[in-house]
Structure 1
Amino acid sequence: MGLNRSRLRSSAPFHSKPLFRRHLQSMKYTYPQCFPLFYVIYLCWKCFFFFCVESTGDILLTFHRTRKIFGVSLSILLINLAAIMERADENLLPSVYKEVSEAFNAGPSDLGYLTFIRNFVQGLASPLAGVLVINYDRPTVLAIGTMCWALSTAAVGGSQQFHQVAMWRAVNGFGLAIVIPALQSFIADSYMDGVRGAGFGLLSLVGTLGGIGGGVVATVMAGQQFWGTPGWRCAFILMATLSSFIGLLVFLFVVDPRKTVSVNHDARINLERDELVEKGNGRVSSVWSESWMATKAVIKIPTFQIIVLQGIIGSLPWTAMVFFTMWFELIGFDHNSTAALLSLFAIGCAMGSFLGGVIADRLSQIYPHSGRIICAQFSAFMGIPFSLFLLKVIPQSVSSYYTFAITLFMMGLTISWNATAANGPMFAEVVPSKHRTMIYAFDRAFEGSFSSFAAPLVGILSEKMFGYDSKSIDPINGSPREAFALSRGLLSMMAIPFGLCCLCYTPLYKLFRRDRENVRLAAVKEEEMI
């Protein structure tokens, strides 16, 4: 797949217990007061990992030295597994909206606020990922974020009050805020420019498969009871357990491609993670100073500003789509049929994201300054006709099952290109490699914060403008009237933003070329100085 193997060299032997202690101690003393939640998670990791690392030393030593399974980089494999769990966790709550609505007597606007809270906190906390990655290697940051979202997911499954669910969704957003930018920058550093779209596409592909799995499992389990416990609660606890396990594997086995570089060109001696952590034990003031400089460097880039603007607008439809599960169930589809329809849409998105990345890679070789932008505009534009056809043209009846299925698959195949074909690869080309996590973090900060308003807006429009009434819903046969109202709210938050998103890419035909050239010249000057 064009993996940049030169950056994934073998490393020194793995000393699990001393390395583990240095990781945690450095976190403890660097951020003891600024982030209380971070310190609590530090204590959880200390207890959890000490037992696991001490009991599996010999096995870990063997795998850490090889770092490959069937010829595939172990780091890339585990990073993709983390992406699978991240997307599965994101799709968990929307898949059981109907059950949560009945359990807590909540309407669409209340459910929309749950998504709003998580996305808003995720957006505000995303810059923290850029700060942490400056001082620590990304596997440690990923593991902490994974533990955070696993804890909150389990807590949602055990919540008895709606406000408890809202609080833990905020904690979930904090964990995702740390994980997602670190994942994206890890992939950007692991692939070369000409195939970076395929790298992001593969990450999105496997992540979407995780979303499919999480959504299907939650939707199917939602209609059951296990040991007297509602199935949707069991689904949350199961997801939390799996996420914790993946976080453990990431912490123990993944090697940061940016930091495993040679310091002796003759002997090819590589820095290992323990030496890197020792470097991160400097004064807190220097960390914040470097973070502030990186922030200013990223925000003033015109390409970043344009992509963030389109991302804010373009994220609105995707955030609104969390109501698809509820909409199909209101039409009258059962849990299994709804899960199948949304799985087809997710499969289409997975294939489309990878296909879009590959096509953009090829097109960028022919048109290096505009190929990716063309792909992004095509994908955004296709959201308009598909939204209209899905929500307004197709009869809202269970007899339209196959029409819904084909439309959802084709829609997913064509509207999912932007992130992998353009946004992710272009971000990597307009900043130095050391600032990549920061640019992805601020992208998530701006997009997540503003797009989080889409979900409650769908609920408000459905209730206030189109007549949705949660009290008149038939829990068995659905409610065509409420389904129609919800579809109009969805259409309002999908078709128009897709069109504006397409137009927002236009200035990049001029700006992207200039920004990329500036980075190239800066890199040349830096090499000459060295």
Structure 2
Amino acid sequence: MRQRPRHPSPSLSTYPAKMKARTIFGFSISLILINMASILEKADENLLPAVYKEVSEAFNAGPTELGYLTFIMNFVQSASSPLAGILSLHYDRPTVLSMGTVCWAISTAAVGVSQHFRQLAFWRAVNGFGLAIVIPALQSFIADSYKDGSRGTGFGILSLVGAIGGIGGGILATVMAGQEFLGMPGWRFAFLMMASVSLIIGLLVYLFVDDPRKTSPMHLGTDVDSNKFYQLGGKAGLPRISLWRDSFVAMKSVMKVQTFRIIVLQGIIGSLPWTAIVFFTMWFQLIGFDHKSSAALNSLFSIGCATGSFMGGFIADRLSRIYPDSARVMCAQFSAFMGIPFSLILLTVIPQSVDYWYTYAATLLLMGLTISWCASCANNPMFAVVVPRKHRTMIYAFDRAFEGSFSSLAAPAVGLVTERIYGYDSKSISLANGSPQGALALSRGLLTMTIIPFGVCVLFYSPLYIVFKKDRENAKMASSKEQDLELT
């Protein structure tokens, strides 16, 4: 067996010139494009929920059918997420991201031209497949691009800029929905526009983004690891046996981590309210708000969530320097708990009338600021330190697989609860001018799928106070052993 050459210490000078990170005005081109991809990903996710009312009218679909569209996309995304981990083990992540971006762009355009509900459902499933490839690769890319002490802030920035896309996508679709462009309904035209921009971003990512595993030895530990990855280049790949063997080892390693199991368990429950929230736009319109007012309310909530995610990551980074074993868990529990009072205020206390727009606006902004911390302050930064670096994409992929597969049930569950228990009838309710009866029924369905999961989520975080420190130390030891083996 050929012995690898020894390298006494990592040095940038030993890397090929093409592996140096490219910058523009001092900013990393790779991070700029990665964040642009995040913007488009969030915009794409928000398109359909923003036009639920128009889709309901075009396809004669009620809340349950609309919920199934979200369920189909989220379920396929969850089931396909491990593929991102496998691909990222053996191919450079810009290539993986480009593949996923092109896939979701094609499916987004197809949704815009669908003429039957089954066509719509099929292309939403394809859209979920594309997102399954993109999201874990994005998360591991950010984890490799920041140090441990600032990783929460890095994920917060990703969430912040992603929310800009979510806000833009929601506003674009909601405002365009009531108009026509080139003889086409505005909501369909919005989907075609988003698909075109996504294709362009996918191409730019493929051409100009450099994988951190190839550009910086600090993220890998040794020149040998980086050279090994560079030689693979993500292009030729590994032999079939080696590929599946390494993938199985990575999966097995991730599944054994107790911190992973606990975060996934709470995430299964904690993701339910966020999936149910896709009905907010429809709820606002049932109350009687017009397209612009509904879009503004959603935008304020998104702004609050974006700012809150960054704020939560920043606060957790600072507190973790003082309390490294518990600060992130405490921040996550605070954020999850705040979902309970705000859900009660929003859905039961404020009168469901257009006269209370400013009250809704202030409540949604504050709600977004406080309930959006968990991913950036705890989940994503903690995942990055409880497995070896090369398994990071795999742990994010499996997190999406488990959490998403169960949380995807929330959207149709809201529809079923709204229709079966609270009496929502899509055939007798007019969506044109709002419906107090329909708004009340939908709000009660939303309440059921928010306050209970938020409460359970708070409890499920508690075991991390005990297991996180042990898992982090085990990951450090495993990384050190791997580096020693590579150097011998």
* 1:355 paired residue number: 311
1:124 aligned residue (53, 68, 79): 79
Partners in 2 of 1:526 and 1:289 — Cα distance?
Answer: 17
Paired residues of 2:424 and 2:437 also in contact (CA < 8 A): yes
Other structure's SS at 1:471 match: coil
Deviation at 1:12, TM superposition (A): 5.1
Contact 1:140 1:251 in 2 (8 A): yes
Instruction: Determine whether 1:450 maps to 2:406.
Output: yes
User: What TM-score do the two structures reach when normalised by structure 2?
Assistant: 0.94
Q: Secondary structure at the match of 1:431?
A: coil
Q: CA deviation at 1:504?
A: 0.4
- 1:273-311: per-residue Cα shift (whole Å, max 9, x none)? 874337743321211111011001001110000000000
Supply the distance in 2 between the matched residues of 1:278 and 1:257 (Cα, whole angstroms): 13
Contact 1:7–1:257 (CA<8 Å) still a contact in 2? no
Select the residue among 456, 461, 464 that pairs with 1:500.
456
Partner residue of 2:22?
A: 67
User: Structure 1 residues 297, 154: CA separation in 2 closer, same or farther (over 3 Å shift)?
Assistant: same
Which one scores higher on RCO, CA 8 angstroms, separation ≥ 6? 2
The alignment status of 1:153 with 2:128, answered yes or no, reads no
What residue in structure 2 maps to residue 462 of structure 1? Answer: 418
Task: Give the alignment partner of residue 248 of structure 1, picking from 197, 203, 211.
Answer: 203
State yes or no: 1:420 paired with 2:376: yes
> Counterpart in 2 of 1:231?
186
Look up the SS of the partner of 2:162 in the other structure: helix
Where 1:459 maps in the other structure, the secondary structure is helix
Kindly indicate whether residue 403 of structure 2 is the aligned counterpart of residue 477 of structure 1: no
**What is the CA distance between 1:100 and its match in structure 2?**
0.2
Structure 2 residue runs of 5 or longer lacking an equivalent are: 1-9
Aligned length: 475
In structure 1, how many angstroms separate the alpha carbons of the residues matched to 2:56 and 2:321?
50
Q: Give CA deviations for 1:117-167 in whole Å, capped at 9, x if unaligned.
A: 000000000000001011100000000000000000000000000000000
Partner of 1:60: none
CA contact (8 A) 2:422 2:444 kept: yes
Partner of residue 375, structure 1? 331
Give the percent of matched residue pairs that are identical in Structure 1 and Structure 2: 67
1:209 to 164, 184, 205: 164
Quick one: structure 1 residues 94 and 345, their matched pair in 2 at CA, closer, same or farther if it must change by over 3 Å?
same
Q: TM-score, normalised by structure 1?
A: 0.86
Change in CA separation of 1:223 and 1:273 when aligned onto 2, cut-off 3 Å = farther
Q: Deviations over 1:186-205 (max 9, x none)?
A: 00000000000000000000
Asked whether 1:523 is paired with 2:483, we answer no
SS in 1 for 2:215: coil
Give, as a single letter, the amino acid of the residue that structure 2 aligns with 1:232.
W
Q: Structure 1: which amino acid aligns with 2:119?
A: Q
Task: Identify the residue that residue 331 of structure 1 maps to in structure 2.
Answer: 287
2:4 aligns to what?
Answer: none
Match of residue 5 from structure 2: none
* Aligned equivalent of 2:7: none
Cα offset, 1:67, TM superposition: 1.8
CA distance in 2, matches of 1:269, 1:126: 25
Instruction: Show the counterpart of 1:84.
Output: 39
The DSSP-based 3-state class of the residue aligned with 1:86 is helix
Q: Distance in 2 between matches of 1:138 and 1:278?
A: 8
Q: d(CA) in 2 for partners of 1:186 and 1:10?
A: 23
The 8 Å contact of residues 44 and 169 in structure 2, kept in 1 or not, is answered as yes
Please give the alpha-carbon distance, in whole angstroms, between the structure 2 residues aligned to 1:162 and 1:333.
27
- How far residue 526 of structure 1 moved from its aligned partner, in angstroms, is 3.4
1:187 equivalent to 2:133? Answer: no
The AA in structure 1 aligned to 2:75 is F
**TM-superposition CA deviations, 1:199-254 (whole Å, max 9, x none):** 00000000011100000000000011011100000000000000000000000000
CA distance in 1, matches of 2:430, 2:13: 60
Q: 1:248 to 1:405 in 2, by over 3 A?
A: same
Q: Structure 1: which 5+ residue stretches go unaligned?
A: 1-5, 15-63
Deviation at 1:477, TM superposition (A): 1.5
